[in-house]
Structure 1
């Protein structure tokens, strides 16, 4: 068995199916399928094979016979040639099968590409380490104040910015009510920017019990294609007004929300937790950045199938996360005014980067001859099962056996890549991040947070309705 040729990431080879094996497979196919043939003069399922071949042709069972034996022969060939295939093979049979002769099957299949690495021993990345400042601690305390705020109802004055207005609303465009534009008893924090521009400002100044109409313009970049740039009217009923009364930050507040007696003790505990959190985040971010840097310097002609598979994997994870929020992927696509093709296209750049980075790491493992012993694999498995199944010894043993059986090589590969990342970081140069970079990272984090909050908010809105 040998590779006939290789073009970029596609390899070509032949598989020879022995005449004897084909004949045996045809006999088995006949036994399995003879019940489907009916010929006058014979009971159904008892038509002789020769009679069937005389009527339908001598090769009537040939294709099914090839399909019976080819998959196993293909797997043998892939193993013998040590191929890392990434797509389904293309199969071609140039010549008809002649009686008494073997059959040559032409195979072409895409495999993992060769990767050319740049100088990876002196990579430079920005240091993501963050300091736990007093502002960080105070922000955590403010969040606790918000969570423990007292809601005070108001009836003797109009609504103002910062108030929570409980409203019924119903929206229309060109005199017609639109889907998703109606809700009852919705708590809207005035000035939060949760609704489209101009909406909250027009609620300010009205009193409890008032009914009124406001005019707004949907933004040109609004997520619903049907409402982009449209003028709309909303019928509003202001059911009630309230505001949050935040507790004082003192020792009494600390006693109410924690196991500590003083504010200073509470702040020290926050600092300890945040330092550990920031350290873990910085470690993961350094790993991400060094992998990204390695991938940027690598050259590889990546098979399209690898990109498509990664996109599908991302979509699957995305769908599971949405499902946990009570949202289907199709509903999310409709909510955002997108399509499946647009969503796949939006994922594509990140998928391409992920695949390239992973290929670069695999190439580094080979270049540095990084090896993982059986003991290291076993230690990793033991650590995982003991963490997740420590209270269920029977399940722990079953999972250990499964991981060391079915997943052993996958775990070995993952550990090798982790060692490769450690190698890169040991040889990397950390530089201080620029102010623009800090601003960019902060904006990305805030956008991601807003997206998650919006998904949760939309889910809660639908549940209320």
Structure 2
């Protein structure tokens, strides 16, 4: 069955620009969007000051909701010792080494590579067999008794496991049924212990204490980045929902529709189908496609009107100091060194839109009334001051010249 994409394509089309506020993007989808343009978009440098809309008098087309003095919550995740230890345990597992002792026996937390065949009433059943499957003992990946049944086995040993599928198992003809798995252990890998020698061999740190501190620091930075992403989303949503389009600029709306239809045509081409056949394979009619196209175009134009309107009113730009910091953030996110690399991959328009959305989000945050709250990881929320580096991270990309 061919993968259905129509229901998700609206979100996919918006991916690069709209999702910039949440620090997420889909490289494949955005790349496909750029490819469908067949090189028609100009590949100018980051110094470009192109407007995001074709009109000069933005107020004629949209009433932008209040974007100053908004009350927003900045939710920070509290990194606990248990979370740090869990991450270290994950690192130990990821660097597990093969056990070479021929007499070594499988034990809890070992990673065993296995071949297995499952039979019911002496006959193999669908989905019950695999070769060279890596299984962590104790992960509860398989039905009860499977992993425990391998504890004590040696490399090369084959065991027959008499097991019973649970009554609530989703495959009806296996639920509650007795089966036999024949399992051969091909190899055994075992996570190391957290020692000075392990740290020196598998990390860039020189001691357990230094490594533990680095793990915590990385997790806290990830929590800070997530808090900023969520804060940007909240800021954007508040303004977008409060804004009202008076009239959609015809040129912008038409361009957005053309971009959307080009993307759909590229999907059809990749599937080696004519458009009518492709729509049928997606369970979608031309009328439904036209409706999705209209929704996409209206949202995209509304987004650009809001961003351009705030840029105009507040004297912001896509090349000011704060915008340059946004670009630096994007480069780090995509793992590239030059903004022109993103321009070549996604197109100048998409890059400008992404910078504009984040630049405006940060301006809204800079002028908001923000309450810092701590997520204690147990479903509770506590009022409290954000960590010092959180404040720096939030304001870093919002300073104006």
When the two structures are superposed, what TM-score results if normalisation uses the length of structure 1?
A: 0.45
Number of matched pairs: 292
Q: CA deviation at 1:239?
A: 1.7
Give the structure 1 partner of residue 368 of structure 2: 428
Where relative contact order (Cα < 8 A, 6+ residues apart) is larger, the structure is 2
Is contact 1:372–1:416 with CA below 8 Å preserved after alignment? no
Alignment deviations for residues 321-372 of structure 1 (CA, whole Å, 9 cap, x no partner): xxxxxxx999xxxxxxxx8459xx9xx99x9799748724632531562566
CA separation in 2, counterparts of 1:314 and 1:440? 44
Pairing partner for 1:286 from 227, 231, 245: 231
Q: CA deviation at 1:218?
A: 8.4
Q: CA deviation at 1:140?
A: 3.3
DSSP 3-state at the match of 2:68: coil
CA separation in 2, counterparts of 1:312 and 1:179? 41
The verdict on how the C-alpha distance between 1:234 and 1:277 changes in structure 2, with shifts beyond 3 A counting, is same
Alignment deviations for residues 191-239 of structure 1 (CA, whole Å, 9 cap, x no partner): 31323x446368467964333554425866x5xxxxx433266542232
DSSP 3-state at the match of 1:261: coil
Give the structure 2 partner of residue 9 of structure 1: none
Asked whether 1:216 is paired with 2:157, we answer no
Q: CA deviation at 1:257?
A: 2.3
Unaligned runs of 5+ in 1: 1-81, 84-112, 223-227, 318-327, 331-338, 391-395, 442-465
DSSP 3-state at the match of 2:193: coil
Is contact 1:294–1:360 with CA below 8 Å preserved after alignment? no
CA separation in 1, counterparts of 2:373 and 2:124? 50
Alignment deviations for residues 371-414 of structure 1 (CA, whole Å, 9 cap, x no partner): 6668659x9699799x9467xxxxx9xx69x969x955655544
Is contact 1:170–1:236 with CA below 8 Å preserved after alignment? yes
Unaligned runs of 5+ in 2: 1-53, 273-280, 382-401
DSSP 3-state at the match of 1:293: helix
Q: RMSD across aligned C-alpha pairs, in angstroms?
A: 5.8
Give the structure 2 partner of residue 145 of structure 1: 92
Is contact 1:114–1:300 with CA below 8 Å preserved after alignment? yes
DSSP 3-state at the match of 2:181: strand
Give the structure 2 partner of residue 365 of structure 1: 308
- Residue correspondence of structure 1 range 231-380 to structure 2 within 5 A: 231=174, 234-240=179-185, 245-299=190-244, 340-341=282-283, 356=299, 359-360=302-303, 362-366=305-309, 369-370=312-313
Give the structure 2 partner of residue 122 of structure 1: 69
CA separation in 1, counterparts of 2:379 and 2:298? 28
Is contact 2:121–2:179 with CA below 8 Å preserved after alignment? no
Larger radius of gyration: 1
- Residue correspondence of structure 1 range 157-196 to structure 2 within 5 A: 162=109, 164=111, 166-171=113-118, 177=124, 180-195=127-142
CA separation in 2, counterparts of 1:315 and 1:176? 46
DSSP 3-state at the match of 1:194: coil
CA separation in 2, counterparts of 1:218 and 1:314? 44
CA separation in 1, counterparts of 2:312 and 2:200? 56
Alignment deviations for residues 221-273 of structure 1 (CA, whole Å, 9 cap, x no partner): x5xxxxx4332665422323976654333323322223433222333333444
Is contact 1:169–1:235 with CA below 8 Å preserved after alignment? no
Q: CA deviation at 1:119?
A: 3.0
CA separation in 2, counterparts of 1:296 and 1:174? 60
Give the structure 1 partner of residue 15 of structure 2: none
